[in-house]
Amino acid sequence: MTAAMAVVLRLFLNEPGKPRYGYDVMCATGIGSGKLYLILARLSKMEWLIRDREPSQPAHEGTSERCLYRINPSCAAAIRQRLAEPARQVQQRPVPATRGWLVPGTGQA
């Protein structure tokens, strides 16, 4: 899971019942539109997010309806657990002596 993906999931988990549309998530997280919609597409495909069409309003007939995303309630617990994992890994991971380019496959400089 990427850092950006984790940011998006945390946003949805903060208010699990609240559906959000793409631009709203973009403003809340500061992630660019291209990357955000890629993440939303992946999370929807993994069924971690549920994607619905916004109910049409009589005042806005003729205009396109936005897509609303919300967290899949059946996956929420698993996502929380998954979000907690990388934090533990980061704490346990030893800091490498040299950063930068490493020999492919060996993990040594």
Partner 1 sequence: MVLLTWALVLLTVVLVALTVVLVVLTLVMLTVGRLSEEEARARLERLPGAIIGLAARRLPEAARADRKSEWDAELQGILAGNKDYPVTRLFEATRFALGLLCRAGAIGLTDAPKARPWLSLASSLGVPRFRDPQAEELVTALRAGRVEARMVAEHAMAMVEAEAASVGGRRLDRLAPLRAAAVDGLSAAQVTELVLSMWDACLYAQGRRLLWAWLQPERICKRQPGDVAVIKRLLSEHCPDKWTQTAPFVRDAIDNWSLDHKQAVERMLRHGQEPPPSAAS
Which parts of this chain interact with partner 1 (CB under 8 A)?
1-3, 21-23, 26, 32-38, 41-42, 45, 54, 63-67, 99-105, 107, 109
- Give the burial class of 17: count Cβ atoms within 10 A of its Cβ; 0-12 exposed, 13-18 middle, 19 or more buried: exposed
Minimum Å distance from CB 22 to partner 1?
A: 5
Report the DSSP beta bridge partners of residue 23: none
Q: Distance between CA 43 and CA 48 in Å, rounded?
A: 5
Find out whether 36 and 28 touch, Cβ atoms under 8 Å.
no
Minimum Å distance from CB 81 to partner 1?
A: 18
Nearer to partner 1, 2 or 14 (CB): 2
Minimum Å distance from CB 57 to partner 1?
A: 12
